[in-house]
Every structure is written in C-alpha cells, then in structure tokens.
Structure 1
C-alpha cells in the first residue's frame, strides 16, 4: 500500500540544496519553474519546467539550485511495500526515471490540491490525499505507456501549446494555429490530440477555466468581469462553458471553492 510521508512546494528558495545521502523513501518531483540540479547515483541530472522525476528508495541523491538561480517544484515523499506490485510500471521497476509530461498544467493542479489538502485538518484527509496521489501516478503511468512520438510531432505540438499558454485570453481559431507550423487545420487538430489527448481549442478553454476558478476564489472580480477578462464577451456563453468543463455554475463553484474536483478539465 502506498503511504504519503510529506508533500512540499519549494518556491524560489534562494539557497536550496540537499546533502548527498542514500534516501530511505521514494520521491516524485514535478518542476514548475526554473531548473534544479541533482546528482543521482553519481550522475548529474538537470530538471526543468515540466519535468517529472521518480527517485526510488536507496538512491544516493543530492540536489541544489541550478547556477544559483531559485526554482519552483513539488516533491512528494512516499513509501510502498516493495514486495507487492503496485500496477504502476515505473514504481515496480524501482529505477530512476526523468521525463517531460505533456499534462503539466493538470499535474501541477493535482500537486497543488494535494499540498493544500495534506496540510488541512478536515475529515478523511488521508483517504482524499491518497486518491489524488494515485490519480496523479496513474496519469503519469498512462503517459509513459504511449507509443513513441517523433521529435517533429513533439516539436510542432509544443509550438502550438506554448502559443496557447501565452495567448489563451485572446480569440484563437484552428486556421490561426495552423499557420504557426505551416500545416493544415486538420493536421493541427489531429496532432495536438495525439500528443496531449484533446484538441487545441479545448485546451484553450481548459486554460481559461483554470484561470476562471482561480479568479473566482482569489479576487473580488464579478463573474461578468471574469468572463470578459478571459475573452468571453457573452456572459451566458461563459456560464455554459464553465458548467460544461467544471460541472457546475460559477456561482456554485464559489460556494464549494477548492473542494470542487477539477480533474474533468483534463
């Protein structure tokens, strides 16, 4: 059985470092911003934004800021019975791995929820935290189980994704995205779905809904104001999109707040 020991969010710690030691726990690392340098069993590893690292128990590990610059990352320390298979291949193989997740926004959101939940004092906290963590592990395992994609496909998909991350509040259509990589609109839609599991326009709405949820909980903006800020000039359309992706109206989300399950976004 998997047991979570701690969940940490290292946010721009100026002199972050860990001493070289053989760890007696497992670590899942998700880098959110910047770069971090590890030494894993004597080998130097540089991890950056979007990278996931699984560092198994008994690994000799040290870590520090890359070139002295701070970074942001989530680290989840956990244990599990080494004699029983978990069904998660990278856990059962008990070997260090590093890969870049294409579902970084979803992974960061689940880590954030786990970080907040584990520090709360609400009932059934341990069960909820384990469920969130198992969902995260399953998503990462599913991603690793995908057939290998060609470097050119990954490059084109990343170009589109980066554009959406920077311009998601602006009007965007498939024709516009196709011009970024000089391919047809149908190719863009199929490519993005193959790499990230959903079409690019849906991803744009997902980004907008994540931001809408954040603005609802952390600002005094009105629902109409949030809709317009995110590019929905028809407030009734914003309500329909929000309910479709989040499963409830914006006003109901305000009442439930961080307790709402946003996994359906992805």
Structure 2
C-alpha cells in the first residue's frame, strides 16, 4: 500500500523544454537550478560536472541534474545535440522563472530551491548511459510539438511520464527489463570507475575481474553502449585533461604526460598527435 501511495504522488510538471545544439568546445558556465533538469544527449560528447561528480555523456545518455548544486558543461570534439527538460516531480510547487541562475550573476535564492522529494528513493544526479536512441526519439520529437491547448498539455505530460519510466525502470515499453539491462549497469559502473581513476594505471583484465566479467564481455558491452573500447575511453579522458593542462598550466609535455597517467612521454606524444591532429607542444599556452 505504501508503494502505491508514493506512486500516486509522482505528478511531474514540465517548466521549460529546450532542444538545440552546441558547437565543439562550447562551455556553458556554472549555474544553479531551482528545479530538476533532465538532459537527453542525441549526438556528440559532453563533459558535465555536477558538484564533485563528472560525467562524459554521449549519444543515448540521460542525466538528471538536481537543484541547488553547481554544474557546468563543455562540448568536446563534436557538435553536441541535446534535449533539456526543466521539471518538478510534483504539481503545486511555485514556478521560478528562469529556473536557473548563472554563477556569475550571484543571485541564487536557496529558499526557492525545489529539492528531490524524500519519498522518491533516487540518488541524484541520476545518470543512465546508452539507452536506445531510436526508442527515446519516439518520445522526444512529439514532446517538442505539443501546444498549450488542454489536449496538448495532457499529451505532453503523458509523453514525459513515459520518458521518465524509460529512464527509471529500464523497461522497453512492455513491462519487463530489456535485453542488455545487466550490460547497461555494468557500463554505467565501469564509466564511473574510469572517470574517477583514469589518471591511475588501469588494467583492463583487473577491471574485468573487479566487475566479475570476462575482458571480452566487458569490452563488447562497453563498445555497444559507448561506441568505443574501455581503453579508448581512458585515452580520451587523459587526452582531454592533457589539453587543459597544456593550455592553462606551466607544466611541460613530459610532466603533463605523467600527470594524466602516461608513463612514456613519447607514446603520449604519438597518441596525442594521432587523436588530436596536432602535437602536444602546439597546445602549450594556447587556451
């Protein structure tokens, strides 16, 4: 009975819907939300930092950002397309316009912050990688076309509930977990592990043993949902951090290589040139 009552309390309201794109390298400055923001990434890759947590989000990834926590986003090396939904979990809460404040403005009113309801046992920020984009687009495109008529508002609410259900329950629209559900959880855990420790020596065999899977299964699942191997993902994060250090610090190329996890500066330079299309030394002092 208790679960039924809680389910009836979930009555989300969309406050703002935005769909658009960012060019490579664009940085959205730090800001604070008054409501929750659900972001669906449909192309490109972004680095999203929420409080002390960092996520590399790509095609098919969904992230719910909670209110009251500083976050910022950077588009990486591709055009980034995404859908953003500012929403409240329940109706009846006061609307705040706009639903966020940029850090530079310095006028965030914490008393207006609409936090996650305590009865909703979801840990925030909520990140779910690699959901089928084809399935997500069944909700996303119609959501952007709903008008303000009673019928349009009702349709928008129904579609958004379906989108939340897709994210929270992992069902494929048929009331059961889709194939690959365990793989999705594995990939999510593995991505978080890599994002936390990519500067450290990482053995693919050791990580596979840590997650109690074979290296082949781990690599196949990761490539299916992320589009690259775990090692390629480690290299991507290391090179992104290397770019930042080379352009903004006084460290030389060898020091940067060691700092981001490469023991061999020559290998680092070859990989950097191959992936970035330029030498590490050409980035020094060029933010």
Counterpart mapping for 1:1-266 below 5 A: 9=28, 11=30, 13=32, 16-17=33-34, 32-33=49-50, 47-48=64-65, 53-55=83-85, 62=96, 63=99, 65-67=113-115, 90-91=140-141, 93-94=143-144, 96=160, 150-254=180-284, 257=286
After TM superposition, give the deviation of residue 180 of structure 1 in Å: 2.0
After TM superposition, give the deviation of residue 17 of structure 1 in Å: 3.5
| TM score, norm. by length of structure 2 | 0.47
Change (3 A) 1:189 1:8: closer
After TM superposition, give the deviation of residue 253 of structure 1 in Å: 2.7
Gaps of 5+ in 2: 1-18, 42-47, 52-62, 72-81, 87-93, 100-111, 117-123, 126-136, 145-155, 168-177
CA distance in 2 between counterparts of 1:202 and 1:181 reads 19
Deviation readout 1:162-213 (Å, 9 max, x if unpaired): 1111111111122111112211110111011011111000000000001000
CA distance in 2 between counterparts of 1:163 and 1:155 reads 12
Match in the other structure for 1:85: none
Deviation readout 1:52-88 (Å, 9 max, x if unpaired): 75349xxx975464549xx99xxxxxxxxxxxxxxx8
Match in the other structure for 1:79: none
CA distance in 1 between counterparts of 2:246 and 2:226 reads 27
After TM superposition, give the deviation of residue 150 of structure 1 in Å: 3.1
Change (3 A) 1:61 1:197: farther
Gaps of 5+ in 1: 19-26, 35-45, 73-87, 101-147, 259-266
Higher fraction of helix? 1
Match in the other structure for 1:121: none
Is the 2:20–2:83 Cα contact (8 Å) retained in structure 1?
A: no
Higher mean C-alpha deviation, range 151-160 or range 219-228: 151-160
